[in-house]
Chain A
Amino acid sequence: MTDTAAAGTILRLEKIVKTFPGVRALDGVDFELRRGEVHALMGENGAGKSTLMKVLAGMYQPDGGRIHIDGLRCVLPTPIAAKEQGVILVHQELSLAEEMTVAENIFLGELPRSRFGFVDWKVLNRRVGDILETLNVDFGPRTKVNRLSIAKKQMVEIARALTHDAKVVVFDEPTASLTDAEKTVLFDIIGDLQERGVGIVYISHRMEEIFRISDRISILRDGSYRGTLVTAETDEDEVTRAMIGRSLDLSRTSDARVAPGEVRLAVRDLSCGKLFRDVSFELRAGEVLGFYGLIGAGRTEIAETLFGLRRPSAGTVHLDGEAVRIGSPAEAIARGLSLVPESRKEQGLVLGMNCRDNITLPQIDRMTSGPFISGAREVEIYDKYQARLEIKAPSWRTMVKNLSGGNQQKIVIGKWLSMAPRVLIVDEPTRGIDVGSKSEIHNLIRELAASGLAVIVISSEMPEVLRVSDRIAAMHEGRLVTVFERDVVTEDDLIQAISGIGEHAA
C-alpha cells in the first residue's frame, strides 16, 4: 500500500480474554489489521482462531480486553452490532438455511423491507443478482440452497461478505471445499476488497494459499498470541515452528514399503447413475491407492457404493477373487471392508459418547456376556488401539467431542481397524486437521499398508495423495481418467487429468 491514508490500522484487538468452563480459550490475544491488508491468522486446531473471530463478530462476549475499530473503542454485543460496525465473518462451517433461496440466505437477518414488514423481493433479487454476477457463478437468486453443491454453497456464504460496506472481512477456511476455478474467483474478490481499503483476516491451514495472498501472518498457539511475521520475509518452516513449537518432519519416514501382494479388490466397469460411470481398478494387499479429483468427481460415491450405501447400476466387484454383491454396510463389514467417512463429526463419530464406546460401536453385539455389555472387553479393545494409534485422550471416559480433530480421526480409524478389515477406505483423512496431526495420520496410513492392509485414500489435497499413495487414480466428472504410478507422476499430470484436459489422450 503506497497510499498512506489507506495504510492505517482499521482494527485492533487488545488483550482479548475468553474463558469457557474449564478452558482458557483466549489468553490475552493481540491482533492488528491494516486497511487493504490480507492478514493470515494461523494456528493448530484449538489454538483459538475461530474463538477470536467469533469475539470479533459479536457471537461471543470477551471476558477481558478491548476492540478498536477505526480507532474507536467498540463493544459488539450481537452479530448485528458487528455487522453495523462493518465486520463481516464468512463462516467456516456452512451457516445456511437449506430450504430457502440463495437470495434469502445472502440477506438473512436483514432482508430489504418495503412497508409493513413486507419483504421487498424486487430489491432483494436485484441486489443479489448483482452480487452473484461479480462472483461469476451459474446459479440465480431464486435457486434453493439445497440444490447446490457444497462448493456453490460456500460461494453463497462468501456472497454475504459483499452485501455490506465492510471495513473488515474475516474468511474462516473459505477454500475447504472450493475447486481451483472458484478459488481464483475468491482471490480476485479478496483483491477487489483490498483495493477498496477493506482489511481481510484470512484463516487457513493451507500454506500455499497463505503465501500466495497474505501480507502478514499472525500466529496463535494454545490460545495465546505468538507474534506476527511479514509473509515476504518468512517461509513455511518458520511459520510451522511458530505454530507447533517444533519443526515438522515431512519426509516419508515410515515409508516401509512392501512389495504389493495379491489382488484384494478388483472393480470392473462400476457405475452408479450419473454419479460415476465405468470405473475399473485393482487394489493389492500392502498398497495405498489414492483417489484424487475435484469435489463432485465421484470419488466419495465410489467408496459409498463399495461399502453398500449405494446400489451400483452396473459393474462387478471382486473381493479376493470372489464376485461379491454388497447390499449393506453390515455385509461390507462382514466381508472385511471398512470405510472411514469424509466428515468424521457427522458420519464417523457419536460425539456425545465416550472414546471406548465409539471404538467398539460396530461390534458391540459381540461384546456381551449374557444379556449385558461387557465393559471390560470394550476397554481392552480401546486400550489396544489407543496404544497402537497413540490416541491422546485423558481416559476412555472422555467424550469424543472434547478431543482434537486429529485424535477424533484416530478414534474413527481405530474403530474400523478393530473390525480387522482387509480393505480400508479412508475418505479425506486429514480434513480440518492441523499440520502436526496430519503427518501422524499419514504415517499411520503407510504403516497400515505395510502391515498388509489394502488401503484406498480419497483426498482433495495434492500433497496428501502424493505423500501417502503408491498409485494415484485421477477422476474427472464421474470417470476414472488414469491410474498413475506415484514414482513417475508429476503435479502437472494430476492437474491435467482431474480437470479433464488429457482425458482423450490418456
Chain B
Amino acid sequence: MTKSGPLGWLIRNPIWVFVAIIFVFFSLSTDRFFDIANFRNILVQTSTIGLIALGMTLVMINGNIDLSVGATLALAASVTVDAMGWAVFADWGNWQILPAVLLRLLTGVAIGALNGFIVWKTGVDAFIVTLGAMLGIRGLVFVYTQEQSFFATNFTYSDFDYSSVLGVPTLAIVFLVFTVATHILLSRTVHGSNTYAVGDNREAAVNAGIRVGPHMVVNFVIVGFFAALAGITLSTQMGAATPNLGREFELWVITAVVLGGTKLTGGAGSIIGTFGGVLAIGMLRNGMNLIGVPAFYVLLVLGTILIFVLFLDKQLNRQGDEEIRL
C-alpha cells in the first residue's frame, strides 16, 4: 500500500496537489499573481502563521494542541514595543531592539513552559489548559496595555519587514530557515522520533522509558518561542502592538497544520505538509485579494478546502474494500 516515488509522496501529502492547483489557477486568472514581488509578499504575509504552525505541528503530533498562541503573540509583541520605550534603553539607539526582542522571546518561552508544565503535572487535557491560557493571557494583555495600542518609535524596528537580504525579504528568510531547521529536528533527531512516539501511543512511550512530561514541555516551549517570534512580522508591519493582535491566529495556524496532514489525535504529520498548508492559505488569501474577492469569501473557500482535503486524505489512505464500514 505504501507507494514510493512522486505519486506516493503526493498521496501522503495531498495538500501539495491543492498548492499546485491554487498556484496554476491564480497564475491564469490574474497577471499580478505570477510575479516575483508578489511571491515575496506571500512569503512575508504567511511567515506569521507559518512560524507558529511549525511549533504547532510538533505539539499536535504529540497529541496536544496549543490554543494560546494568538494571545502569546500579542503579549510578546506588547512587551517588545513597550520595552523599546523604556528609559533604560533610551540612549541605546538601535541596540534597544536587542533586549526588547530577547524579552519578547523569553515571554513566549515562559508561557510555553507554563502551558507544558500544567499539562504535564495536572494531566488536564492540553485543549483545556491552553483554552484557559488563551483567555487569561489575552486578559493580561489588556491589563498590561490598559487597552491602548503601543506604537514603536524606533523606525528601524518598524521598517524591519521591508528589509531584505540579497533581494529576499528578511522575514521570509527567517521563516524558511526555521522551516528547514524544524523539519530536521522532527525527521532526524531523537527528540523528533519521540515526538511521534508520544503522540502515537503515549503508554508505549512511557513503557519505553521516554520521559513524556518533560518531552511535551519542550514542544510547548518551542511553539511559545515561535508564537513570540511570529509577532515580529505583525508588529513590525504595523509599527505597533495592539491588544487585539493575533486574534483568531490559533484557528488559522491549526487549519494550516491540519491541512498539511497532521492528525488531531497525534502520531502523524510532517513539516513538509505543514509548509504546504501554510502556502495554500497564503496563496488563497493573496490571490483572492488580487482578483478582488471580498475577504470573507476567503473564509468560505478555505473552510470548504479544509474539509475536502481531509476527505481526500481519508479516501487515498484507506485500506480499500476490506475495511470495516461504520
Contacts and interface: CB of A to CB of B under 8 A. Distances in A.
A127 to B, nearest CB: 15
A118 B190 contact: yes
B324 A304 contact: yes
A113 interface: yes
Contact of B193 (A59, A111, A144, A273): A111
Contacts of A272: 322
Interface stretch (A12-20, A305-313, A448-456): A305-313
B143 to A, nearest CB: 39
Contacts of B200: 97-100
B147 interface: no
B272 to A, nearest CB: 16
Interface in A67-119: 78-80, 83, 89, 91, 95-100, 104-105, 108-111, 113, 116-119
Interface stretch (B92-100, B160-168, B206-214, B285-293): B206-214
Contacts of B192: 119
B29 interface: no
Interface string A203-245: 0000000000000000000000000000000000000000000
B209 A83 contact: yes
Interface string A309-324: 1110100000000000
A266 interface: no
A246 to B, nearest CB: 36
A97 B267 contact: yes
A110 B188 CA distance: 14
A304 B190 CA distance: 41
Interface string B309-326: 000000000001110110
B129 interface: no
A59 B320 CA distance: 39
Contact of B196 (A100, A109, A301, A313): A100
Interface centre among B2, B267, B325 (most CB of A within 10 A): B325
A275 interface: yes
Interface string B185-197: 0001111111011
A472 B249 CA distance: 62
B1 interface: yes
A274 interface: yes
A147 B1 contact: yes
Given A95-B203, A97-B196, A97-B200, A119 B209 contact: no
Contacts of A79: 206-209
A89 B190 CA distance: 22
A108 B321 contact: no
A206 B171 CA distance: 65
Interface string A116-144: 11110000000000000000000000001
B222 to A, nearest CB: 14
Nearest to B321: A273
A304 B192 CA distance: 39
B268 interface: yes
Nearest to B209: A80
Nearest to B200: A97
B155 to A, nearest CB: 39
B201 to A, nearest CB: 5
Nearest to A327: B325
8 contacts: A79-B208, A95-B207, A97-B197, A100-B197, A108-B197, A113-B190, A301-B322, A311-B325
Given A100-B200, A273-B322, A274-B322, 19 more contacts: A78-B211, A79-B206, A80-B209, A95-B204, A95-B207, A97-B197, A97-B201, A97-B205, A100-B196, A108-B208, A109-B205, A109-B210, A113-B190, A117-B189, A117-B190, A119-B190, A119-B193, A147-B2, A309-B325
Interface of A: 59, 78-80, 83, 89, 91, 95-100, 104-105, 108-111, 113, 116-119, 144, 147, 272-275, 301, 304, 309-311, 313, 328
Going nearest first, the 5 A-B pairs with the smallest beta carbon separation are: A109-B208, A80-B209, A97-B200, A108-B208, A109-B209
